[in-house]
Chains A and B, each alone.
Chain A
Amino acid sequence: MLSPYIPIAIFVVVATGFALFTLVFSGLLHPEKYNKVKLEPYECGIEPLTDARDRYSIRYYLVAMLFVIFDVETVFMFPWAVIFDKLLLFGLIEMLVFIFILVVGYYYAWQKGALEWV
């Protein structure tokens, strides 16, 4: 019996191969008549003055940090949910304590305005 993960690997290889093949194949077909203006980034017809690698809103970092915190908790709930039929009341109380600690952090973040968008 094959390892169940090998078909996934085959599938990924097929998908990547398909993407590469279509990109290369279309590369053989289409015309290439480039000039300077054509290779500028799109900016509503105005000449771009600055590079796009500029500063941007701090909010995106905040969201990413909150995500890292809460996503780890989500992953922790997966094994708990699967064996909940064996943990029963003990498991429920454990999870209530765990989520209570989480809610304290969540409430703090909310009050600090981390969840507000501007």
Chain B
Amino acid sequence: MSPLLLAQVALTLFVFVMLLSSAAVMVYVERKVAALLQQRLGPYLVGPKGLLQPIADVVKLMFKEELRPRAADALLFTLAPIISATAAFAAFAVVPFGAETTFFGLLDERVRLQVADVNVAVLVIFAIASMSVYGIVLAGWSANSKYSLLGGLRSSAQMISYELSYGLALATVLLVGNSLSLTDLVNRQAGTWLGFIPRWFIFVQPLGFFIYMTAGIAETNRAPFDFPEAEQELVAGYHTEYSSMSFAMFFLAEYINMVTVSAVATDLFLGGWHGPLLPESLGWIWFLIKVAALLFFYVWMRWTLPRYRYDQLMAFGWKVLLPLAVINLLVTAAGVLYFGL
């Protein structure tokens, strides 16, 4: 195998393992931050400071009995968690997370720190993000339980409603960046204005960032938009009937989707791996810091805000966020035209 191919394979496996462990880390962080905000201790018994808690959770789930209701559709019921997990992983494949590198001179050619360098990365992400709704809708329908069905329906309605604003927020960034490749978009954000303001798109597109993050939180079904679960009304929504590892797959998918939304937000709005002080080859450190900050924001939101009512969610998505996104798109277009942003 040529060194370049080897590097590509190594990078693919590396990204996969990192995504898996990021989900484990998020489980721990989520519980610790929740405890912090509620003045509790959180997990502290398993391992030093409870650090091994996620591993204990997985081992416990592995030994749990796997239940499938008798009336369920066996094929779709088994397929749904696999679809969810695969769609979550696949979306990250096109996200670049660092500048081109030769791995400290190990390689002759420079490789990009991403699994697949596709020139229409934004479209690929948009397409795969839409796929994840299939996992949820199939899980909800196939279980043949009323709670699952309601959770699945609600969730799909919510996800498709917010996908419009999500797509429009992406289109607005494309107006400013004139490219569909995430690497190009990140490189447009290099440098500074007036010597100290970084050229990040968030300063050109504050409203776009707000719309993107709101729609992103709704897309990943997180509080305050966590209607698919809505414990008090729907038990656990679309995964009511799931147990053992297939339940863990949905959990995994949710956390990886969060990581992907944060990583794409970092690439599109926060300048990706560009930042002060560090050289370009260590840009991935900036990338990690920014993604971690957004993920913290996610968890913070969840434990601070109460859940909306379902009709409020739909009204907000269709009557506020969608018109706002369209107006933002047109204003940005006019801005690009007259000020040449």
Closest Cβ–Cβ distance, residue A105 to chain B (whole Å) = 12
Contact with A along B161-204 (1 / 0, CB 8 A): 10110011011101100111000000000000000000000000
Given A19-B85, A63-B161, the answer on whether A11 and B66 have CB atoms closer than 8 Å is no
Chain B residues with Cβ below 8 Å from A12 are 86, 89-90, 93
How many Å lie between the Cα of A118 and that of B146 in the bound state? Answer: 20
How many Å lie between the Cα of A78 and that of B173 in the bound state? Answer: 10
Asked if B86 and A52 sit within 8 Å, CB to CB, the answer is: no
State whether the Cβ of A111 lies closer than 8 Å to any Cβ in chain B: no
Asked if B336 and A84 sit within 8 Å, CB to CB, the answer is: yes
How many Å lie between the Cα of A71 and that of B117 in the bound state? Answer: 26
Cross-chain contact of B93 among A11, A59, A63 (Cβ < 8 A): A11
A contacts with B: majority SS: helix
Given A41-B144, A82-B174, the answer on whether A92 and B334 have CB atoms closer than 8 Å is yes
Closest Cβ–Cβ distance, residue A25 to chain B (whole Å) = 7
How many Å lie between the Cα of A36 and that of B124 in the bound state? Answer: 45
Interface size class of A (residues with CB under 8 A): 35 or more
B contacts with A: majority SS: helix
Which chain B residue has the least Cβ–Cβ distance from A56?
B153
How many Å lie between the Cα of A77 and that of B157 in the bound state? Answer: 22
Cross-chain contact of B119 among A4, A102, A110 (Cβ < 8 A): A4
Chain B residues with Cβ below 8 Å from A39 are 67-70
Interface size class of B (residues with CB under 8 A): 35 or more
Asked if B62 and A23 sit within 8 Å, CB to CB, the answer is: no
Chain B residues with Cβ below 8 Å from A15 are 16, 85-86, 89-90
Asked if A11 and B178 sit within 8 Å, CB to CB, the answer is: no
Which chain A residue has the least Cβ–Cβ distance from B329?
A77
A-B contact pairs, 10 of them (CB 8 A): A10-B12, A15-B85, A23-B246, A26-B63, A29-B62, A30-B244, A41-B145, A77-B167, A78-B123, A80-B171
Binding site for A on B (CB under 8 A): 5, 8-9, 12-13, 15-16, 20, 61-72, 78, 81-82, 85-86, 89-90, 93-94, 115-119, 122-124, 141, 143-150, 153, 156-157, 160-161, 163-164, 167-168, 170-172, 174-175, 178-180, 235, 240-241, 244-246, 248-249, 310-311, 314-315, 318-319, 322, 326, 329-330, 333-334, 336-337
Binding site for B on A (CB under 8 A): 2, 4-8, 10-12, 14-16, 18-20, 22-23, 25-27, 29-34, 36, 38-44, 48, 51-54, 56, 59-60, 63-64, 66-67, 70-71, 74-75, 77-78, 80-85, 88-89, 91-92, 95-96, 99, 102-103, 110, 115-118
